[in-house]
Structure formats: structure tokens, C-alpha cells
Amino acid sequence: MKIARLTAGVGIVAVGALTLAGCGNPYESEVVEGTEITVAYNSGFFHFNDDSGAGNNTANGNVKYMTDTSFGYYNNTPEYVHNTDFGSYEQTSDDPLTVEYTITSDAVWSDGVAIDEADMLLQWAAMSGNVTDAFAPAATTGYNLVTTTPETGEKSISFVYDEPYVDWELVGPLGVSAHGTYALAFPDEYADVQAAYDEGDMDAYQEAAATFAEDAKQKVVDAITSGDEEVLAALGEAWNTGYGYTTLPESPAAALTSGAYIIDDIVEDQYITVAANPLYTWGPSPKFEKITIRTIADATTALQALESGELDIWTGQPTSDILELANEIATADVQTAVQASHEHVDLTVNNGGPFDPATYDGDEATALAVRTAFLKTIPRQEIVDKIIAPLQADAEVRNTHLVSPADPERYPLLSDTNGSAEYADVDIEGAKALLAEAGIEGTVEVGFWYPEGNVRRGQEYELIASSAALAGFELVDESEPDWLFTDPASVPVNNHDAVIFAWSQTSLAVGGSDQIYACYEDPLAKGGNYNGYCNEEVTDLLNQLNVTADYDEQTALLEQTEAAIWADSVSIPIFQFPGLLVSSDKVTGVESMPLSPDYFWNFWEWAPAEDSE
């Protein structure tokens, strides 16, 4: 999983040396006709709107990154780079904080319709929650502080913040298209466009799309500015669910892109292929005409495919055996580096399970004792020693929720003061004592989820199950491959008692952790808070953090929040991800990246190696 809290979106294209048409020298495509590349990821694409709660997944984000455009991106230093080829943004006032965004005149959606202010207004309405509750975004942070409907101009929009949002520069107000979302909400009105598309007449399709879009965009804008609940409800439903698919959608409205590539083909559970967008002129040109992302959960299978020439780039969650296998491939380049993702276990507190106070007639103290006892049994050091250290000799247990070990000042401070020392070692006797004091008798059954097919997490599960059993916890394997508990529309309350996955950091933002740890009354607006956690003090502290610019004040807020989360025993970090990136000698320009979207960050620089042509 990715942390949407750390950026406003991942659909971005980098600034390059090429100049846009209308802005100097004409854009020149560098796509090499007939070239294709096959890469892999350990889970498959399933949702085109990764800003939604249902679509908030790194596998979706990788695809969106190659097919979308925004105002900036992170390179692998990492540092934030402005994408001035696509547009510009400017802080026009300090009090109140006001930011104006303008999109270049050349930028169009893949159906030829202009990317404009209606698209940005829809993104604000969907992400802020300040117009309607019909939308279910993965995160509202930043957007929620813009409570006044933004003013718009030709291809421009202005955000006026109620408070000075600390990470305002990472807000990029563009997601899925306004007219595409309207088409999904009201398909009958899109019939002429659909007919032209089905007939394969691209000129007629683009002409019909332009005619439809003019009316559709206005209706979106009118619904947002007037608060038309009927239209907004339909738009919200389309935004939440209309972009979810695992085969090529019948309606082109469900796959309109704003970036270098368009969706070309999808085979469920196997692959998704993107092809160069012939209309794209507002950024650096990619080199490959097509890129196929295969879904390969098993690392050994992926490396065998790379060795045989069926695969060109792979990254995954390696074991020591996998690293050894990668190093044995003569035609491969192997890169290792620590990633900005960390493994953790979350306990669900609102599903009627062993960690929910409702199970004990509302007794919060008993539920807390059971949660604390369970976390005391998780063998974090053993997991690191047996699974991670063989890949990274200096690997250590991670002891914070809110900052990474890469932060040289805050990480040691928070680690020393947050209470994590109580979990430095497995404490079976302490866990037993807590259960006994709470009056818990017999075996405590815990439904435990991990992504099916993930070898490393399967190994972690076995170690946790063995240790927890010593204190009287019986883990029930509830692994499945689809991450269903992350979709608030289909699973409003997490049906698993415990889950293990990683938060994948997408930026260097200070705030935004409220997406995960703040209270959410509406299950459809829970962001990344999949375990039903609610502590009003934590929510208030995180809200303060979002609007605090002073470094020392930020640190104090982080200290207090960390301590409160640990005291509630709802989550425990385990380790920072060791990264492994393997690429074929048939492709150049592949570089590792600590942040999500991982190695996809510079896809436009991937090129066929000269000696392989």
C-alpha cells in the first residue's frame, strides 16, 4: 500500500529538456516505433482512480504515474521537482494562504478534450469533503482546509486555505477527468461518444467527445457550485466505483489519461499494457512505444522470466535466496537500497473481534490489555534477524509510526520517548499476565490477514503465529490476494482482527498522518484508517501538525502523537523495507527510488540498449 497522506496524488510527469509546442521549440517525440518493454510488480492493477479509498494501492499508483500529469514529482535524491511543462502554481497570498494553479494551453485528455479548471474543481470537491459526502477519497489532508469554493478562470484555479497548510506545495489539484466522471455517472448522455468510439472512428470520437465535454464540464461545475445533491451523488458514485476494473473498460470515459501513456490492454491477474499517447506534448517524451506491467507475486518466477528474456525490470520483497538468485543472472543489473516503506501490524478495534471493546461489553481497559498482550508476542527482532538482515546487514527494528529512521534528529528522539522500549523484546510472560489480569481465559482467536502469495509476509506470519501461540493466541490464516479490507465501499468495517502490510511513503511531507490515525465517523471516509482507531487527542494533535510550520513545534506534536498511539496498542512497526531492483541489460535508464512509485519514477528515461537493437 501507498501512503496517500504524503502527497496529493501520484499521477505526475517529470520536467525534461524538451520544450512544449507553443512555448518555444516544437515538441519532438522520442518514442521508438515498435519498441516494447515488459516489467513486473507483485500485485495487479484493479482501479484507475487511486485517489479513491477503493483504489489507494501502489499497483494502481504505478499505472497512474505513467498515464497522468501533475505539477511536480520527486526524483530519486529525493527532491521535489516542478513540472513547469504542464503548468505552474504560485503562492499569491500569505494571509490567508492562497495558491493559484494554471495548466498549459496544450494539455488535453487522451480524447482530445482540454484539461482545465473543471477537472481541478472536481478534484477539490472529491478530495476535500467540503461539498458533499458522496465521494470517498483515500485522504482529505490539505484539501479539507480549503472550505470556500475555489475561484476558477481559463485553465486556472485558486485555493484559499482556512489555515496555513504546511505541505501546500504537494497539493496537485488534478485527478480523473470531470467530463469522464460525468459520462460514467450519466452514460445515456454519453451515447453518441460511445457509438463513435465503438465504430473505431477516432476523428468522429474526438469530435463527439469535445461536444459532450463542453456541456458535461459545465454540469459538473454547476453541481459543485450550487450543491446539487442529486448530480453530486451520481458523480460521487462514479468517482468511487466507476474506475474500478480489471479488464479493458467498455467506456473510454473510464480510462481517460492526461500523461505520456494511455491504457492499451488489460488481462485480469496477468498484466496491463500502456501505449504512448499520440496527443501528449507537455513533458519529456518516453522512449518505449509500449510498456507491459505483468503481475508476478512470486519473486523466483519473476527472476526466471528476467533471466529468460521475458521480463526486463522487476522489484519486490526479497528474501536472501532471492537476492542470491538475482546476483547469479549474468545479464542483469542488481540495485539494492533501503526504501521509504515500512512493515507494520494493525489491530482492528471495531469489528467485534478480540481487540474491540464491544466484545467485552464496552470495557476499554480489557480490550487494551488484550491488544497490548498480543503486540508483546510479535517477534520483531527475530523477523529482522531471519528475514531482513540477510538482505541488509545493518537492518534494525523500526520503532516509530510517524517518522522514518532516515530522519537523523526526530527518529532517535521519538524512539526514546514514545514507549516502544516496552516492545523491544518478546515478552510472553508479560502477555500472559496481562490476559490473566483482564480475566481472559482460554485461547484467544485472532483472524490474521496478509497478502496471499507474498512469500516474505507468509514467513512473517509463521513467526508471529508461533510466538503468539505461546501466550494463548491462536492465529487463523485469513490471507487473500485482493486487499478487500482497504475498500470502504465493499468492506466498511475491516473483517480481519489483525493485518500486516506496508505503508509506502510517497513524499517528504511533514503532515498528513491524519489519513491513518485520525477519527473517521463515516466508514466511507476513513482514508487509510482501516482498523477503526479513534483517539480524539491524536486527531487533534495531527490536525495541529498539518498547520504548524515551526520545526520545534512540529517535533513536540510528533512526540505527543507517537506516545499516544503506542499507548493505545493499535499498531506496531517492524522494519524498513530493504529494496531490490533487477533490470535486464536490454534496457537503460533504470534507477532505484526510495519513495513510491519506486522504479517507475523516471519511466520516460527508460530506453532500449544500443547493443540490443
Taking the C-alpha atoms of residue 509 and residue 10, their distance in angstroms, rounded to an integer, is 14
Give the sign of the dihedral formed by CA 180, CA 185, CA 188, CA 189.
negative
Mean predicted lDDT score pLDDT of the chain? 92
96 or 610, greater pLDDT: 96
pLDDT of residue 611: 53
Nearest CA to 299 out of 459, 76, 64 is that of 459
CA dihedral 151, 153, 157, 162 (to 10 degrees): -20
- pLDDT bracket for residue 525 (50, 70, 90): low
pLDDT of residue 453: 86
Predicted confidence (pLDDT) per residue in 582-594, tens digit: 999 999 999 999 9
232 or 488, greater pLDDT: 232
Predicted confidence (pLDDT) per residue in 407-453, tens digit: 999 999 999 999 999 999 999 999 999 999 999 999 999 999 999 98
Task: Tell me the whole-structure pTM to 2 decimals.
Answer: 0.87
CATH class of domain segment(s) 339-576: alpha beta
- Taking the domains of the chain in order of start, what are their residue ranges? 339-576
Amino acid found at 572: I
Q: What are phi and psi of 325, to 5 degrees?
A: -65, -40
Q: Which residue, chain included where needed, has cell 521549440?
A: 25
Q: How far is CA 335 from CA 294, 338, 595, in A?
A: 20, 10, 15
Taking the C-alpha atoms of residue 511 and residue 67, their distance in angstroms, rounded to an integer, is 27
Written as nine digits, the cell of 162 is 482556512
pLDDT of residue 12: 23
Residue 445 region by backbone torsions, left for phi larger than 0, else alpha for psi between -120 and 50, else beta: beta
Nearest CA to 53 out of 133, 159, 142, 165 is that of 133
Predicted confidence (pLDDT) per residue in 49-100, tens digit: 999 988 988 899 999 999 999 999 999 999 999 999 999 999 999 999 999 9
pLDDT of residue 14: 24
The secondary structure of 30-95, three-state, reads CCEEEEEEEEEECCCCCECCCCECCCCCHHHHHHHHHHCCCCEEECCCCCEEECCCCEEEEEEEEC
> Which H helix or E strand runs over 324?
helix 320-327
Predicted confidence (pLDDT) per residue in 256-314, tens digit: 999 999 999 999 999 999 999 999 999 999 999 999 999 998 999 999 999 999 999 99
Percent of all residues in the chain with a pLDDT value above 90, rounded to a whole number: 85
Written as nine digits, the cell of 519 is 477519527
522: which DSSP letter? S
472 pLDDT more than 90: yes
521 pLDDT more than 80: no
pLDDT of residue 528: 87
Q: How far apart are the first and last CA of the chain?
A: 36
pLDDT of residue 26: 67
Written as nine digits, the cell of 265 is 490492454
Cis before 594? omega within 30: no
32 pLDDT more than 70: yes
Taking the C-alpha atoms of residue 468 and residue 483, their distance in angstroms, rounded to an integer, is 24
5-14, 143-152, 190-199, 603-612: which range is least confident on average? 5-14
Question: Which residues does residue 342 pair with via DSSP β-bridges, in sequence order?
Answer: 503, 576
Nearest CA to 306 out of 278, 334, 348, 280 is that of 334
Q: What are phi and psi of 223, to 5 degrees?
A: -65, -40
